[in-house]
Structure 1
Amino acid sequence: MRRNLKWAVAALMMACAATAAPFAASLADGGASPIFGVRIPDGYRDWKLIAVGQEVAFDELRGVLGNDTAVKASRNGALPFPDGTVFVKLAWKHIPVEGLKGAFITGSPTTVQVMVKDSAKYATTGGWGFGRFVDGKPVDEAQHKTCFACHEAHAKDHDFVFTRYGR
């Protein structure tokens, strides 16, 4: 199990570096998410990796990056997260490596998701604004309405953030 986790971390770190072009293209569009007005932050590709994960239901591998505020708060276990915290989750399709049971690599990118902490601006959603982008464009309003509901149902005790700092 520990070996598989090491493979997962290595694969996601390489994917963060190797797939910059598809995700970087989304920066040029500049579209804001409906409801929240969140945009993909400039320079996010240079942020630090906070955690990795796998979403079985969507067959995805995920890497969560954070700005300096997010990294510091995550390392220190600060709750609630301070205003100015920004997390960016990158997701890729999960592809098993043939002949290496339990090993996998990242496939094509699927989404870029953004969480921005601004307690005044997003007071009705726990202080968080959300953005979900596919191929560099924000998804429709109906999909954005599900963001906070899911975070509220499953991560309320951690200031609505699923991610834990990977040590």
Structure 2
Amino acid sequence: MSKTKLLASAIALLGISAAAASGLTGDASPIFGVKIPEGYREWRLITVAHEAGKNNDIRAVLGNDIAIKAFRDGTRPFPDGTIIARLAYVYESSPQNDKVFPAPQSFVAGNPTNLQFSVKDSGKYADTGGWGYGQFENGMANPSEPLIKSCFACHVKLDASKDFVFSHYSP
């Protein structure tokens, strides 16, 4: 086998490994069976959030086309097919960026911590306000049923007129 073909084979194998690590292999969260949707990184931004306290993370909240339309139109409850993704990263200061400013003030997204999805299907997830939840670390579903059960227990504390969604659309 030529060096070129060997290199191409190695690159292809790495691509397969990267796809498997991304969670696109069908790994589903417990209870709700939520999987990582293909192409979610191409979705549009709903908002950015910082959670202080124990998590101390920064989050990019993305939505599929159905979610974006519902946020823009103010449609509540969200229609079935809505998927909201939360990509969480360590919230950390940036000494490199701070060198440019007169005082330490720059914070950036550090290493990823987890990925969460809220999926609207009012029939399938009727017992949890129409929402199914999944949390993934390193592309793999978190197998902790107590963690996944706690999702709706937290969301249900919101005003029902918001359809149990924390995020607000930032146009």
TM-score range, shorter chain: 0.7 to 0.9
Which range moved further: 151-160 or 53-62?
Answer: 151-160
Identity of paired residues, percent?
49
Asked whether 1:97 is paired with 2:94, we answer yes
Residues 76-87 of structure 1 correspond to what in structure 2 (within 5 A)?
Answer: 76-87=73-84
Letter in 2 for 1:69: I
What number of residue pairs does the alignment pair up? 146
> Which structure 2 residues correspond to residues 28-43 of structure 1 after superposition, within 5 A?
28-43=24-39
Question: Could you report, residue by residue, the CA deviation over 1:7-50 in whole angstroms, capped at 9, with x for unpaired residues?
Answer: xxxxxxxxxxxxxxx89832344210100000010010111011
Among 130, 134, 155, the alignment partner of 1:131 is: 134
User: Any stretches of 5+ residues in structure 2 without a counterpart?
Assistant: 1-17
Structure with the higher fraction of residues in helix conformation: 1
- For structure 1, the residue ranges without an aligned partner over 5 or more in a row are 1-21
- 1:90-146 Cα offsets, whole Å, 9 max, x none, are 000011123443321110000100010000000000000000111111111110010
Contact 1:23/1:112, CA 8 A, preserved across alignment? no
SS of residue in 2 equivalent to 1:153? coil
| Counterpart residue type for residue 93 of structure 2 | P
Contact 1:61 1:91 in 2 (8 A): yes
CA offset digits 1:65-85 (Å, max 9, x no partner): 110000000011110000000
1:111, 1:138 → 2: CA distance?
10
Question: Greater CA radius of gyration, 1 or 2?
Answer: 2
- Measure the CA separation in 1 of the matches of 2:160 and 2:105: 32
Q: TM-score, normalised by structure 2?
A: 0.80
Match of 2:68 among 44, 58, 71: 71
Distance 1:127 1:149 in 2: 13
Residue 59 of structure 1, CA deviation:
1.1
Is contact 2:64-2:83 (8 Å) kept? yes
Tell me how far apart the structure 2 counterparts of residues 137 and 86 of structure 1 sit (CA, whole Å).
18
Shift of 1:153: 1.0
Q: TM-score, normalised by structure 1?
A: 0.82
